[in-house]
Amino acid sequence: MSEGRGAWSPSQSNLSKAMAVMDAAQASGNLYRDGFGMIASENIVSPMVQKIVSSDLHGRYAEGLPGKRYYQGCDDFDTIESIGIDLAKKVFNAPFANIQSTSGTVSNIGALKALAKPGDQITAVSTADGGHISHARMGAVGLRDLNLSTYPWNEDRMEPDIDGACNLIRDIEPKVALIGQSVFLFPTPLSEIANAAHEVGAKVMYDGAHVLGLIAGGVFPDPLKEGADVMTGSSHKTFPGPQGGFLLSSSEDEKFHRKLNNSIFPGVCSSYHLHHVAGKVVALAEFEEYGQAYAQDTVANAKAFASALASEGFDVLAESRGYTATHQVLTRHGDLDSGAGAKAARLLEDAGIITNMNMLPGDTKALTPSGLRLGVQELTRVGMDQTQMEEVAALYARVLIKGEDTQSVKKDVKQLKSEFQTIRYCFNEDNLNGYPF
């Protein structure tokens, strides 16, 4: 390279820091390539999405909407976003879709900005019962300075107490009735809650972050058809796209559409990460093609995995309801607030199984909970079926029940995972590896 401005002349100190980042990223890729990624809020993206998110779009801006930009050079991105909006409306069967949000939480902040003013009342699921942190005073609800009341909880059914929730809504007359969880095993009976909310003039907001792919895949009830006015969600959980979010609505009112669009830009986003938006559009096209099969297989795997865990001797929640109707499975590993969930997660990680500790009903301490929240969506994405779910459950038992050496189990985890490296349910005719780094 010729000498001049920007010439190649790095100090060893700074170059070593950059190389350390590259090494750590490769180590993380190896961890997931050789192990089981079973965190319920994660997924992997297709080769085509991987390619588009590393394109030149990553450094560009396109404030506004297609055809109404504040910058030049956006004609090609107008094409991308227009295709994406049309696809999102079709995939989610919604009259309105905004695909700009940079995360599910950002979608929630934007929706709350559109639906309520500081000081207004809101109802939601408590974080102790599985509600997301953005539904709490510590998160988006607090950021918007809303007054929160939480629904009574039916622990046996792992859902809000419907009569109690409706009574709460009628009593306090909130501006927004928010439904949806981070711990999400079963559909919430939404129509009754929506009816109560609409009686008192409240808008119904549904956070579908975890189950968005299941809703679009037709294996989970559609909240927009059951009374939700707005649905938010993440684009990287059961919907298997890049990091980002969606904002959807059942409304046909163009004035309300403008309010929702404005809540994202300029409300909570300036640049909205064009490379990720483009990745969502590719993922939407792939989901339109393969999403129904992926959603069906994900739920079937979750049910099989939960049953296999129970057969191995684990305490799997919601046995009376068949354990799960989503991608998630919940297990209890000790007394409330005992930290047994945290200990179990560490042991599993030593064996190459990546999970997360999680509060279960009755736990009060987020860092020392009794449970694990497990997701099968990534294992499904690389082709595992119900037979492998039984094998995975047996590996859990070897670590947490039989107390085998974690390094010995890790070898068998790696062996099983080596047979499942190709990303499925996407445009991947070349059968490319899902863990390329």
Q: Domain locations in the chain?
A: 39-46+291-418, 51-286
Q: What is the pLDDT of residues 113-137, one digit of tens each?
A: 999 999 999 999 998 888 899 999 8
As a whole number, mean pLDDT of residues 209-228 equals 98
Q: What is the pLDDT of residues 146-196, one digit of tens each?
A: 999 999 999 889 999 999 999 999 999 999 999 999 999 999 999 999 999
What CATH number labels 39-46+291-418? 3.90.1150.10
pLDDT at residue 3, as a whole number: 62
Q: What is the pLDDT of residues 52-84, one digit of tens each?
A: 999 999 999 999 999 999 999 999 999 999 999
- pLDDT exceeds 90 at position 310: yes
Can you point out the beta strands (E) in 285-434?
Answer: 315-316, 328-332, 353-354, 356-358, 371-375
- pLDDT exceeds 80 at position 369: yes
Report the percent of the chain where pLDDT is more than 90. Answer: 92
**Dist. CA 275–CA 197, nearest whole Å:** 38
DSSP 124: E
Average pLDDT of the chain is 95
**Dist. CA 239–CA 425, nearest whole Å:** 11
Which of 230, 229, 248 minimizes the C-alpha distance to 239? 248
pLDDT at residue 2, as a whole number: 55
pLDDT at residue 1, as a whole number: 47
- pLDDT exceeds 90 at position 407: yes
pLDDT band at 322 (very low <50, low <70, confident <90, very high): very high
pLDDT band at 406 (very low <50, low <70, confident <90, very high): very high
CATH topology of domain 51-286: Aspartate Aminotransferase; domain 2 (3.40.640)
pLDDT at residue 129, as a whole number: 87
Angle (deg, nearest 10), helices 406-418 and 12-34? 80
Q: What is the pLDDT of residues 228-251, one digit of tens each?
A: 999 999 999 999 999 999 999 999
Residues 6+ apart with CB under 8 A from 75: none
pLDDT band at 414 (very low <50, low <70, confident <90, very high): very high
Of 8 and 321, which is predicted with more confidence?
321
Which of 289, 373, 371 minimizes the C-alpha distance to 326? 373
At 65, which helix (H) or strand (E)? strand 64-65
- pLDDT exceeds 60 at position 338: yes
